[in-house]
Each structure stands twice: as structure tokens, then as C-alpha cells.
Structure 1
Amino acid sequence: MRRIHPAWAVAAVTFIALIGAAGFRATPSVLLQPLHDEFGWSLGTISAAVSVNLLLYGLTAPFAAALMDKFGIRRVAMAALFLVSLGSFLTLWMSQSWQLILCWGVLVGLGTGSLALGFVATITGRWFVKHRGLVTGVLTAGGATGNLIFLPVLSRVSESNGWRTAALTVSVAALLVVPLIFWRLRDHPADLGVTALGATGDAAPKPARNTGGAARNALRGLRDAAKTRAFWLLAGGFAICGATTNGLVGTHFIPAAHDHGMPQTTAASLLALVGLFDIAGTIASGWLTDRVDSRILLGGYYFLRGLSLLVLPSILAATAHPSMLVFILFYGLDWVATVPPTVTLCREYFGAAGPIVFGWVFASHQFGAAIAATAAGLVRDQLGTYTAAWYGAGALAIAASVLSLMLFAGKKIKTMSPELGIALKA
């Protein structure tokens, strides 16, 4: 009987952790209206806490990747889940908006950021040679699965038992994942005496942990990557990706639909449905990434997303009519389909330092998301509608398509970073 490679067990545990991280991070979108109703805080104020969460979620990623090199994946993942649990638990006693920023913005942002897509890049880079693009797509789909599971459940819990019960549910769920991480997650294939899936040759000895400072290694990765044109094109496109997904749709779709008379539970279910189609779209994107040039994929994904966002203002209504369901299907397939080709391009351009560099590219994603989350809240406060935000996001997504296709103009240069193993391209 053929033995199943342990890389699949590591991927399964990683998938579960990513489900939790995505669900925890998406929870504030469910709590926007309840917090507004109880405390009287404006949507712009509450969105600021979400923006801090999104920003730290991205900025933490490259440092978390460096910390995983230094202390191990398992330790960092467990510490991250403890932070998420603590941040969610402390919100039960908050009474001021700055406390929301501290708990959901800072603590949950740092925790979920350590389990962000840099985590995916680290796992797939160490454990997979064969099927790397496909596994990247599957793990990325964990985020969509988290939305699918948590959004409707927490929305109903919040409506029936109050938002504090929803926050407590998140806290407990984070703690429940910790024993599973401790039991099954391993840092390197060499820990189990095997090679990465698809690698040739005998099992390599466990590589020595990076003894340099994690922050220094992360910053060195940024310094070297920032010398290249490719990094700025990838980061610019991914910033727009974040603005048009987590920042705008992920944060404001529910209140925007509510503005048109749609019940919050219905809107949350539609947003969760985006996650359902996203699972299929992201896995398919991973499969395509192993076969089609990633620059072409990114250009197509961003262009189609832009078109869908330009249509959205005309189809928002009090009910989930057929046109809205078509949008949910189309947009869901495209939600994070951009991740597998972006991870692949970071590895192509930056070699062994790909996970750390992707962490910085992902930081730009969350920077764009943070700006969009606050900007859309302010647009709604000032204009009484989200329409301008939808049109602006659609135009930006089309611009990201152009940036992605400009990567074809890149050429190799000789700059090297021996410490990180970066082979840079323009």
C-alpha cells in the first residue's frame, strides 16, 4: 500500500488554521451595524478599526515569515492564534472606540497577519515541489472557506444573542485550533525524515534556522526587492487587489446591501456565498498557474473584476434577485484567484526569498485594503451612498490589469543578495 506523503497532512492542518484566520478577520464586517447601534459610533470610526486590522494583517506577514525561519512555523502559528483569541475576548468589555482599535485592530490584526498568505508561501515552498501551484490555490481557498463558515453563523449569533456572543465564539474557536497545530504541523520535511513532495534524491538534513534577526531579514528582503521594477508592479497590482476585495467588498458589502433594504442576514449569506465560489475559483487558479503564464492570469483576473464592480451599483436591491446572484458567482470565482500566480511570480523573481518578498507584496495588498475600508466608510458618511466607491474600485481594478501585463517587459539583472538568496529581475 502506497504511503501518503506527510506534506498532505501539513497542508490539511494549514488549511484549517487559514479557515480560522479568515473567519476571525472577517468578523468585524458582521459587527459594523451592531456596534453602530449600541455605541453610536459612525461607520467611518468603526471602519478605522477594520483598517488597522487590515493594515497590520499585511505588515505582519513578512516579519512572520522571517520569524518562521528563526523560531519555526509551529511556534509562530500557535502564538498567532493565542493573540487572536485574546483580542476577541477583550472586546467583551470595551466601551470606547479606541479599545475596538486596540483589540480588533492591533491584537487580531497581528495574530491573523501571522497566518496570512505569507504563511501559505512558506508552507508550499518547504513542503511541495510537485503540485505547488495547486496546493497554493487550495490553501488560499481556506480564506474563502472561513468566510463561508463564519459569516452566516456569526451574523445569526449576533442578531439573536448580541455581538458579544459572536466575539466570544471567535475567541473560543481560535483556541480550539491550537492543539491541532501542535499535534500535526511540522517545520520542515526533514523533521520527519522525508523530502518535499515531488523532490528528488534522499531526505536532506534539516536546514539550520536563520540566526539573524527576523526583522533585519525581513527588511533586507524589502530593500533588495525594492530595487526591481517587478516588485513595484506586483505590489501595485496587489494593493488594488486588496482595495477591491477585503477593503471594500469584504468590509462594506453588508451595510451597502442594508442601505438598499436587504436584511443583514441575507447580505451576510451572499458574502459567504462569494466564499463558496471563491473556493472553486482559487483552486482552479492554482491549477492554471501550473500551466499558464501567471502574468496573463493576473491581467485577466483584474480586468474581469473591474467590470463586475462597475456593474454592482445598478443591481443592489432589497432582494437577492438573479442579477445579484450572477454577480456573486462571477465575483466569487475571481475573489482571491490572484494569489497563486502572484506567489509564483514572487518565487520566479526572488528565488528562495520569495516567501518574505511575497509577505511585503501582501503588505501592499492590506495597505490598499485599509485605505479602501476607511475611504468607503467616509464616502458613505458624506454622500449617503456607496456608489462612488464601487465605480472607483472598478476603475482601479482595470488599472491593476495593465500593471500585471507590464511585467512582460521585465529583464534579468545581476543584483544578488547572498544572505537571502534573492536573484533579482527588473
Structure 2
Amino acid sequence: MTERPRFFYGWVIVGITIISMTLIYGIRHSFSVFFPAILDEFGWSRGSTAFMLSLSLLIYGFVAPVAGSLGDRWKPHRLMPLGLLVLSLATAGSAFARELWHFYLLIGILVPVGTAFCGWPLLAPALANWFIKRRGLATGLGQIGAGLSFTYGMFAELAISQLGWRQAYFVLAGMLALIPLPLYLLLFHYRPEDRGLRAYGAEEPLAAATTRGVTSQDWTMGQALRTRQLWLLMLSYFLFWGIGTYLVLAHQVKFAEDVGYSGTFAASIFALFGILQVGGQLSAGISDRIGREMTVTLTTILTMGALAALVSVKDTSQPWLLYLYAVSFGYGVGFFTPTITAGAADIFHGRHFGAIAGLLLTGMGVGGVIGPWLGGYIHDTTGSYFAAFILSMVCFGLSCTAFWLAGPRKAAKLRAGGS
């Protein structure tokens, strides 16, 4: 424990996070690829069909802090394989769905429960545990899997085109059992102490280990809940991901099909978004240099510009607008989650950070119950997605404002007992 090995094992945890995030969140983020096929077979309204994603995000948001808290208190190496089992069974079970309530139960309830107990609510605190120095970089790298989970939609689209949407669910479920499960059982460790190691940067003076000025205060959940910073971070997540982003993601493939593009082309745009999101996540370490708030401001500029391009698409004569949307939206969204997670860790990292970080996902979940459903409702009512996408732009601007008010740049003062 006195001398760090030449290769730091924390980077193995980062690698496992990337792979696992790709496959775990690929289930949720392939929804927009399954969406047209389910609509075609059953003929339900877009609002009621999209509500299965809204419900999924809501349940995920409320289960996430529970999963994070159990990770802090219990043994994540037991929780995470159980979460994968629930997620795999729920995904496979979706192949047998015949009624709308079947999808609500499987996709809306069981999938997010499984996801919460094997995904980011436990992976994010693990990365924070392994890295004091380079936390923004490690979190950004770990989030690459979230970006790749959107490209997973191309794999799902291929499976649907070759096998049908029901059999495609079996394929996605099988991938979870074949890849993340062995990694969790054999190689994953929630804390460096589990391998007799110290966190990256732990041997340095804390003021030098991070540019954010973290001190030794160990936040409890009750203390964190009494700060406006936590509520502002939850509000930022609520507006950015819950309403703004998921409204767009749930309907972007169908939007492209409505203006005349093929399902395959629409899915390829979705995949390009995921690839560029990886680019944003790889670049998220910039928040260690320019600050968390400036990075989120850059995110806001990119995402609002992307939606300006998207609402300008009227037909198939200007495909470059869709490419511009995918590049700007993907890169901008890629910045957000690593930055807000690192910002929260700057302020609240400690033994209870898993539960605190999970509360941020509650903000996303509450917003998520509104976003996908509201996008479908607005289209069902107006016959267009224009007003829905403008609403997303407004949410991005408000999210940025909330993050600035939370002020991760003032983390040292808050942890020292200031306001």
C-alpha cells in the first residue's frame, strides 16, 4: 500500500465501466429504434407508447439513490450481478409483450430497477472512490460507455431487420449475460481498499490532488439535503436530461422517418450522435482545466445550436442539417454527465456519495417521466415536433443557469462549512 504499482488498477475499473455502460444503457437507448416497430404492430398513440420510456426514467430516478445507498453500506459485488440478472430477464421478457401494460411493467419498471443496481448509480461512486486526482478525466472516460450505448441502436436495428423486434430483445439480453456479468464477478472492485490499494492521488496533499479544493469533510445524506447546491444540481439534471434530452432522444428516429428518411438512415443518425457523444466524454476532462461551469456552458451552446438545426429539417433535401444536429448534440451531451458528476463529487464526495449521486438521477427520472411522454403528446396534439424541440432548448438554458447557481467552483468553501 505504500507504493503505487506502475499500472494503476483504477484504469481497469474505468474499462469495465465503459463496456458495462455500453451494454446496460444500450437497452434503454435502443428504445427509439424499437419505437417505430412497436407502433407499426400495435397502432397505439405516440404519447402512450413513449410513456413506457417516461415511466422507465421515473422509476430509475427513484431507485438510483437506493442503489447508491446500498452500495455505500452493503457489498456492490453482490448487488451488481443481481441487477444484471433482473435487467436481462426483463429485456428477454419484452419479447413476449402483447399489451401496453406488459411494456409498462417490463420496460417501464423492471428494466430501470435492474439498470439502477448494475449501472451508473454504482459505477459513478466507484470511479470517485478510485480517483481523487484526475476525477473529471476518469468520470469522462467511464461515461464513454453511455455514448456508445446510443451507437448500440445500430446493432439493435440490425437485429430487428434480420430477426424481428421480438427476437432482437433476446439478443440484447444475451449480451448482458455474456459480457458484463463475468467482468463484475471476476474483476470489478468498488473501492481501491478492496485490492489493498489507495485512490489515485491519495498520496498527495488534498489541495494538490484536485484543482477543486476538496477537503476532508464527509457529508451525510441529511447534511447534503439541507444544501441548496444539491437541489440545484438535481434541478439541472431534471431539466437537461429528464426533459430536454430524453424528449428529443425518444422521438428523433420517428421525426426523421416522418420527414421522409428511411429507418436505417434515421438509426445511423442516432448512432452518429452516440459516436460524437463519446467525443464529448473523452473531452470532458477539460472541466478539470477550465472549470465545471464553463464546460456546462459550452454544452448548452452546442445542444441549443443542434436543436436549431433539427427544427430546420422540413424534408429530405438537406440531410446535412441532420448530420449537424447529430454532431453538435452528441458532442454537447457528452460533456454534461461527467461534468455534473465531477462537480457533485467536488462538493459532496465521501462515504455517502453513492446515495447523494443517486439523488441527481432522481432529478433526471422525475424529468424523464415528462420528457418522452410530452414530446409524443405535443406531436399528437399539434401534428409536429417543433414546439417540443423548442421546449427542450429552453430546458437546456435553464439547466445551465441552475448549475452555475450550484457553484462547484466554490466547493472548498462549502465543504469547509460555508454556504
Match of residue 175, structure 1, among 174, 177, 189? 177
Q: Deviations over 1:174-225 (max 9, x none)?
A: 1112112111112322222221223218xxxxxxxxxxxxxxxx9x72x433
Q: Are positions 1:74 and 2:72 aligned together?
A: no
| Alignment match, 2:312 | 314
| Alignment match, 1:208 | none
| Alignment match, 2:358 | 359
Return the TM-score normalized by structure 1.
0.87
Indicate if the aligned counterparts of 1:81 and 1:175 stay in contact, CA closer than 8 A: yes
| Alignment match, 2:371 | 372
Pairs within 5 Å for 1:124-135: 124-135=127-138
Query: Higher relative contact order by CA 8 Å / sep ≥ 6: 1 or 2?
Result: 2
SS in 2 for 1:114: helix
Q: How far apart in 2 are the matches of 1:170 and 1:133?
A: 30
Q: How far apart in 2 are the matches of 1:319 and 1:155?
A: 24
Q: How far apart in 2 are the matches of 1:269 and 1:119?
A: 31
Residue 98 of structure 1 deviates from its aligned partner by 0.5
Indicate if the aligned counterparts of 1:299 and 1:401 stay in contact, CA closer than 8 A: yes
| Alignment match, 1:164 | 166
Pick which of 358-367 and 161-170 moved more: 358-367
Pairs within 5 Å for 1:122-271: 122-148=125-151, 150-176=152-178, 177-200=180-203, 221=221, 223-243=222-242, 246-271=245-270
Q: How far apart in 1 are the matches of 2:226 and 2:116?
A: 25
Indicate if the aligned counterparts of 2:346 and 2:408 stay in contact, CA closer than 8 A: no
Unaligned runs of 5+ in 1: 202-217, 416-421
Change (3 A) 1:359 1:42: same
What is the root-mean-square deviation in Å for CA atoms of aligned residues? Answer: 2.4
| Alignment match, 1:210 | none
| Alignment match, 1:344 | 342
Residue 319 of structure 1 deviates from its aligned partner by 6.3
Q: Give the AA of the match of 1:156.
A: L
Aligned length: 399
Q: How far apart in 2 are the matches of 1:408 and 1:145?
A: 30
Residue 320 of structure 1 deviates from its aligned partner by 6.8
Pairs within 5 Å for 1:95-106: 95-106=98-109
SS in 1 for 2:290: coil
Residue 413 of structure 1 deviates from its aligned partner by 11
What is the percent sequence identity of the aligned residues? 25
Q: Deviations over 1:124-183 (max 9, x none)?
A: 1211123211010011121111221x2011112213321111111111111112112111
| Alignment match, 1:5 | 8
Unaligned runs of 5+ in 2: 205-218
Q: Deviations over 1:225-282 (max 9, x none)?
A: 3322212221111111113555212211001111111111111111111110111111
Q: Deviations over 1:71-115 (max 9, x none)?
A: 222222211111111101112222111110101111111111234
Indicate if the aligned counterparts of 2:130 and 2:200 stay in contact, CA closer than 8 A: yes
Q: How far apart in 2 are the matches of 1:85 and 1:54?
A: 17
Indicate if the aligned counterparts of 1:245 and 1:335 stay in contact, CA closer than 8 A: no
Change (3 A) 1:382 1:411: same
Match of residue 45, structure 2, among 13, 36, 42? 42
Q: Give the AA of the match of 1:277.
A: L
Change (3 A) 1:108 1:305: same
| Alignment match, 1:30 | 33
Residue 17 of structure 1 deviates from its aligned partner by 1.1
Change (3 A) 1:344 1:187: closer
Q: How far apart in 2 are the matches of 1:20 and 1:299?
A: 29
| Alignment match, 1:278 | 277
Q: How far apart in 2 are the matches of 1:8 and 1:324?
A: 35
Q: How far apart in 2 are the matches of 1:173 and 1:411?
A: 43
Q: Give the AA of the match of 1:138.
A: L
Q: Deviations over 1:44-75 (max 9, x none)?
A: 11111111111122222211111112222222
Q: How far apart in 2 are the matches of 1:154 and 1:374?
A: 22
Change (3 A) 1:411 1:325: closer
Q: Give the AA of the match of 1:25.
A: R
